[in-house]
């Protein structure tokens, strides 16, 4: 992988003192251009200005690239005009930067037409311009319903910049709200499935029998799923207080019971027709648009349903229905069931389309995969959204590769830097849905949330943190406290989190993590530092740069430094800085030259 090569080069020159004399043209760095890619995304807010992404490498062993070199990246093509040149303001020896260049098709070139050209880099003092061949589709054309076409779709930049979202698991399973504790805990939202296994470690089979009796069936919980304390404004205000930039409610889990509306010709299994008789998703999205319009809106959707009589060929835990009583073996009605010919074509796909078009979701967050028509759904939805000027995204669980991967309860998986990923987990030790037997002291604290977020962002991931409201729609106080504690820290440090990118050399080794922008580099010290912090990695610092505190009571204070070459930066922290923050201490290297 490219970033591994970058580490090797950087490590080989760590002991060499780089040249920083920018008045001598002989001291210009050596730049190369690698892997230019005509992407299928465009600059937000633009008239479909296409994004070309490429890597600019400083391949010289000792010379830094600085702002004074005026590095500019453009595209030279008979089919394209460069309208937004790319720039790089700092590159240490042996390191790279991901750069975006904006292009538009020349007159007469059809959107999506094949084209070619060269990506070029020029810098003041360079003897020759670096270049690399470029080939692909010019302009943003239509996607077709093939896996090959959809493989070219990319995660929108707004998703990459957002970094932190709130996941919400709320459904019938929130009424019994049980998943055991400690080593026996498992996802409470799987209550109905665990209930069918007397030997499951959660002992849900026994819990249900002792608590409700054998004649109370899972679908009976619809009568108690009241949502009487559900206040959509309070929810979205909490998400904003938490510092989140997007949210993803569970619109239908594996039990098939939805919180949104769709045609009654395919199913009536939702809160619109049973229980509270409310469209909770519409209420929540309306509140977000009115009160917290900056929050992006996504929708979790389970492709299969455990016990839908029309679902076939899922296999494993998703073999289909009809449901049975776990204690008597009696076949049960599947509440709201409408007989259809083909579950995938007649239920799954139309429900996904309802989320895409009627609810204007910006992310389709699928789960499980299995039989699907996702290629049809996604291609039409993406094309439709583009005509509205909207960039949308879908994850890796729709039966397609998707725009980004979705590990769960795994905050730092072994993952390539350059493939976008989003790690999700509950505030609960091991449940997304509300588990009423989890002790308060087992929930994630604000400190744990912040430290997890920083680690994930430094590794090119997003953090989707889940809450599990109770059946009445209230969010447990312990969850609210953790979210708000984290949010207070995030708001004071947001410049070092949102709109940043990862550092291709390394995410950092404990206790250090790194993020970057075009204008600055950020060092995160996870946990309270001492009076001296040594940075062993070749961060892009040069003498004369300003190092400042980000966040806390010492925000903006300049830090004294010592440096003799890459991998030798030392930060000298006064007491007011050491005592001036909590959770994670963050420092900005501001590029002066």
Mean pLDDT of 278-286: 98
Residue 484 to residue 497: CA distance in whole angstroms: 17
Looking at per-residue pLDDT, the higher value among 583 and 416 belongs to 583
For residue 448, give the 3-state DSSP assignment. helix
Mean pLDDT of 421-431: 97
> Phi first, then psi: what are they for 445, rounded to 5°?
-90, 170
pLDDT (0 to 100) of residue 373: 98
3 pLDDT more than 80:
no
20 pLDDT more than 80:
no
25 pLDDT more than 50:
no
* Class of residue 315 by CB neighbours under 10 A (exposed 0-12, middle 13-18, buried 19+): exposed
Least confident of 116-130, 320-334, 369-383, 513-527: 116-130
| E-state strands within 443-519 | 461-467, 512-516
pLDDT (0 to 100) of residue 555: 98
Q: Which of 224, 222, 280, 229 is nearest to 480 (CA)?
A: 229
Residue 367 to residue 355: CA distance in whole angstroms: 15
Q: Are 190 and 440 in contact (CB under 8 A)?
A: no
325 pLDDT more than 60:
yes
Residue 274 to residues 216, 226, 229, 304, 357, Cα–Cα distance (Å): 17, 10, 17, 21, 23
pLDDT tens sequence across 225-264? 999 999 999 999 999 999 999 999 999 999 999 999 999 9
Q: Which of 548, 501, 546, 547 is nearest to 96 (CA)?
A: 501
Say if strands 520-526 and 512-516 run parallel, antiparallel, or are unpaired.
antiparallel
| E-state strands within 208-332 | 246-252, 296-302
582 pLDDT more than 50:
yes
Domains in the chain (CATH in brackets) are 31-137 (2.60.40.10), 161-296+325-492 (3.20.20.80), 501-590 (2.60.40.1180)
pLDDT band at 125 (very low <50, low <70, confident <90, very high): low
**pTM of the prediction?**
0.95
Q: Which of 464, 451, 462, 469 is nearest to 524 (CA)?
A: 451
**Beta-ladder partners of 569:** 535
Least confident of 138-152, 313-327, 340-354, 512-526: 313-327
pLDDT (0 to 100) of residue 8: 28
581-592 burial by CB neighbour count: b if 16+ within 10 A, else e?
bbbbbbbbbebe
289 pLDDT more than 60:
yes
pLDDT band at 446 (very low <50, low <70, confident <90, very high): very high
Mean pLDDT of 332-348: 97
**Beta-ladder partners of 87:** 72
pLDDT tens sequence across 27-36? 788 999 999 9
Residue 201 to residue 299: CA distance in whole angstroms: 30
Residue 467 to residue 155: CA distance in whole angstroms: 24
For residue 88, give the 3-state DSSP assignment. strand
R_g of the chain, CA atoms, integer Å = 26
pLDDT band at 10 (very low <50, low <70, confident <90, very high): very low
Strands laid side by side in the 71-76 sheet:
86-88, 71-76, 113-122, 130-138
pLDDT (0 to 100) of residue 16: 33
414 pLDDT more than 90:
no
pLDDT (0 to 100) of residue 412: 75
Residue 213 to residue 232: CA distance in whole angstroms: 34
pLDDT (0 to 100) of residue 126: 57
Least confident of 3-17, 373-387, 406-420: 3-17
217 pLDDT more than 70:
yes
H helices of 459-533, in order, are: 477-493
5 pLDDT more than 90:
no
Give the single-character DSSP code of 552.
S
pLDDT (0 to 100) of residue 418: 77
Q: What is the mean pLDDT of the chain?
A: 93
Mean pLDDT of 255-276: 98
pLDDT over 90 percentage in the chain: 89
Residue 69 to residue 25: CA distance in whole angstroms: 9
């Amino acid at each position: 992988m490219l970033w591994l090569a970058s580490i090797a080069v950087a490590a080989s020159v760590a002991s060499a003192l780089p040249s920083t004399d920018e008045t001598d043209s002989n001291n210009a760095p050596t730049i190369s251009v690698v892997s230019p890619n005509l992407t299928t995304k465009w600059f937000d807010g633009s008239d479909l200005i296409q994004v070309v992404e490429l890597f600019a490498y400083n391949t010289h062993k000792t010379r830094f690239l600085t702002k004074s070199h005026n590095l500019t990246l453009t595209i030279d093509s008979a089919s394209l005009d460069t309208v937004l040149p790319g720039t790089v303001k700092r590159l240490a020896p042996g390191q790279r930067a991901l750069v975006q260049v904006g292009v538009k098709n020349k007159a007469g070139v059809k959107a999506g037409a094949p084209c070619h050209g060269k990506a070029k880099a020029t810098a003041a003092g360079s003897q020759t311009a670096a270049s690399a061949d470029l080939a692909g589709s010019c302009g943003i054309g239509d996607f077709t319903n093939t896996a090959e076409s959809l493989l070219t779709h990319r995660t929108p930049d707004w998703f990459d910049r957002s970094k932190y979202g709130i996941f919400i698991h709320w459904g019938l399973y929130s009424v019994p709200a049980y998943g055991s504790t400690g080593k026996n805990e498992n996802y409470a939202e799987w209550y109905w499935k665990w209930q069918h296994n007397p030997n499951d470690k959660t002992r849900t089979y026994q819990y249900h029998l002792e608590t409700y009796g054998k004649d109370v069936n899972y679908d009976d919980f619809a009568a108690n799923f009241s949502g009487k304390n559900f206040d959509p404004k309070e929810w979205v205000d909490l998400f904003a207080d938490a510092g989140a930039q997007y949210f993803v409610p569970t619109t239908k889990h594996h039990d098939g019971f939805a919180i949104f509306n769709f045609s009654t010709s395919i199913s009536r299994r939702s809160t619109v027709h049973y229980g509270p008789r409310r469209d909770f998703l519409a209420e929540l999205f309306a509140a977000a648009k009115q009160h917290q319009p900056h929050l992006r809106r996504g929708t979790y959707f389970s492709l299969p349903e455990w016990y839908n009589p029309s679902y076939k060929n899922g296999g494993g835990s998703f073999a289909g229905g009809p449901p049975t009583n776990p204690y008597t073996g009696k076949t049960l009605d599947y509440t709201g069931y409408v007989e259809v010919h083909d579950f995938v074509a007649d239920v799954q796909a139309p429900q996904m389309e309802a989320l895409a078009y009627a609810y204007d979701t910006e992310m389709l967050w699928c789960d499980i995969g299995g039989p699907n028509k996702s290629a049809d759904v996604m291609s039409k939805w993406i094309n439709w959204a583009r005509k509205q000027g909207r960039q949308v995204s879908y994850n890796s669980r729709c039966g397609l590769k998707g725009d980004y991967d979705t590990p769960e309860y795994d905050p730092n998986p072994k993952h390539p830097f350059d493939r976008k990923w989003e790690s999700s987990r509950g505030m609960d030790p091991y449940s997304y849905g509300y588990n009423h037997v989890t002790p308060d002291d087992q929930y994630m604290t604000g400190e744990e949330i912040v430290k997890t977020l920083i680690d994930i962002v430094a590794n090119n991931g997003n953090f989707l943190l889940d809450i599990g409201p109770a059946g009445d729609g209230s969010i447990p106080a312990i969850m609210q406290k953790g979210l708000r504690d984290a949010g207070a820290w995030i708001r004071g440090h947001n410049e070092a989190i949102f709109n940043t990118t990862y550092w291709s050399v390394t995410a950092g080794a404990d206790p250090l993590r790194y993020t970057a922008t075009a204008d600055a580099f950020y060092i995160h010290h996870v946990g309270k530092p001492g009076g001296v912090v040594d940075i062993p990695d070749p961060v892009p610092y040069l003498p004369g740069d300003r190092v400042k505190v980000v966040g806390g009571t010492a925000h903006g204070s300049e830090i004294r430094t010592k440096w003799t070459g890459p991998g030798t930066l030392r930060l000298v922290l006064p007491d007011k800085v050491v005592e001036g923050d909590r959770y994670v201490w963050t420092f900005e290297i501001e590029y002066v030259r």
